[in-house]
Structure 1
Amino acid sequence: MTFWPEFLLIATAHLLAVASPGPDFAIILRYAVRYGRTTAIYTSLGIGCAILLHVTYSLVGIGVLIQTTPWLFQALSVSAALYLIYLGQGAIRAKAPASTADTVATEQVLALPAPRAAFYAGFITNGLNPKATLFFLSLFAVVISAETPLAYKAFYGVYMAVATAAWFILLSFLLTQSKVRYFLLAKGFWFDRIMGILLLMLAGHLLLNSFTA
């Protein structure tokens, strides 16, 4: 009886969360600009699968442990910050192409990450994201009723994983349309640098919060 109202509430909350700017958006934008559609799609799949990680620890009760053990959550935040620093320092050092005419040729010979590496990058980025951790802790503690059957909760988790991957795959397609793609190839190093600054700012925010909380 309460399945559809609860599901619609969860779907709405998830849509707002996944569409808000954050590390997931930053890494998809960077990978789409620098490496193209296929790499960005594999990264999107990694982000979607990481949602299942959050759902799993929420279902088995590990989420309560994270929530009630400050040092554990702090360790998660610091790990996420260090990974964002690793991504950000690489992005901020992006160099401009020799000329606009050489941009496409340069992109064609650019060493692309292996699909597995792109998948892992998305998985780690979302899996270590404290924002995602807090979202799922709140979702399973407040929005989803304790009386909701486990099968329904599992369905919610699968839905959010698929919806997250679909959202970022759609974003990957939009960012790699031919005209957009050519523009991004020509000016992509600026996007890389901007994303690098954003990632470093996010890392600083995480570190500040983790040591002042």
Structure 2
Amino acid sequence: MFSSEFLLLASAHLLALASPGPDFLLLVRGALRHGRGYGLAASAGIAAANGLYIALAIAGFSLLQHSPALLVAMQWLASLYLAWLGWMFMRASLEPAPWPGSAGRQAAAAWRGVGAGFLSALLNPKNGLFYFGLFTLMVEAHTGLPRKLFYGVWMFGAVLAWDAGLVCLMAQPRVAALLDRALPMVERVAGLLLMVAAAALAVTRSA
């Protein structure tokens, strides 16, 4: 039987996963532009960064909570990274979209996908604060380490499964054929949203 604590924790985590953010935009664009292999690699990178934050939360401390200077630095890095990623998306939208099933989808190396996904999730300070908040507010102080580890493994698996499932959906021939026609627009919109998010984060830090 799942405890009410686990159900509450898992529900909050799944709701957060369903909320589109930079990781979502990166996966959709990556799957459409470079194919399923690249998208799955990016999913692994995102899950790895989330796993790092989950491990820190389980350990009972948050580097971001206890180091304001580190939090500010990460927010500035995140702003610069999102702006750069948005610019790359905008520039890529000027390139022709690959034909469905073409080799052009596989041009990007898998390690690039892992790196892009890892940086996207790692440089988002909200991820660290979110996991620390989950374990602080929803997990009882007397909950043992084995149960906490189970929670962590569950959330890591949920992130990986959700993102990989999204990539596999994007890679379905019918879905890919439909979205390929809209790829330049998808990249322009995604790039614009990322640059707006970068500007908003920078303005928040400057205020």
Alpha-carbon contact 1:51-1:157 (below 8 Å) kept: no
For residue 183 of structure 1, report the CA deviation from its aligned partner: 2.5
- Matched with 2:35 is 36
Q: Secondary structure at the match of 2:142?
A: coil
Structure 1 residues 184 and 58: CA distance shift in structure 2, 3 A: same
Alpha-carbon contact 1:47-1:125 (below 8 Å) kept: yes
Q: 1:14-29 alignment to 2 at 5 Å?
A: 14-29=13-28
Structure 1 residues 12 and 139: CA distance shift in structure 2, 3 A: same
| Number of residue pairs aligned between Structure 1 and Structure 2 | 206
Runs of 4+ with deviation above 3 angstroms? none
Q: 1:164-175 alignment to 2 at 5 Å?
A: 164-175=159-170
> Which ranges in structure 1 are unaligned for 5 or more consecutive residues?
none
Query: Is the counterpart of residue 74 in structure 1 residue 69 in structure 2?
Result: no
Query: Is the counterpart of residue 206 in structure 1 residue 204 in structure 2?
Result: no
Q: 1:89 aligns with which of 83, 87, 90?
A: 87
> Which ranges in structure 2 are unaligned for 5 or more consecutive residues?
none
C-alpha root-mean-square deviation of aligned residues, in Å? 2.1
Query: Is the counterpart of residue 129 in structure 1 residue 124 in structure 2?
Result: yes
AA partner of residue 26 (structure 2): I
- Matched with 1:54 is 53
Query: Is the counterpart of residue 156 in structure 1 residue 154 in structure 2?
Result: no
Q: Secondary structure at the match of 1:104?
A: coil
CA distance in structure 2 between the partners assigned to 1:24 and 1:110 by the alignment? 19
Alpha-carbon contact 1:7-1:156 (below 8 Å) kept: yes
TM-score, length-scaled by structure 2:
0.91
Query: Is the counterpart of residue 193 in structure 1 residue 188 in structure 2?
Result: yes
For residue 78 of structure 1, report the CA deviation from its aligned partner: 1.1
Q: Secondary structure at the match of 2:94?
A: coil
> How big is each residue's C-alpha offset from its partner over 1:123-146, in whole Å with a ceiling of 9 and x where there is no partner?
111111122122112112111112
Which stretch shifts more, 171-180 or 155-164? Answer: 171-180
TM-score, length-scaled by structure 1:
0.88
> How big is each residue's C-alpha offset from its partner over 1:188-211, in whole Å with a ceiling of 9 and x where there is no partner?
111111111111111112222223
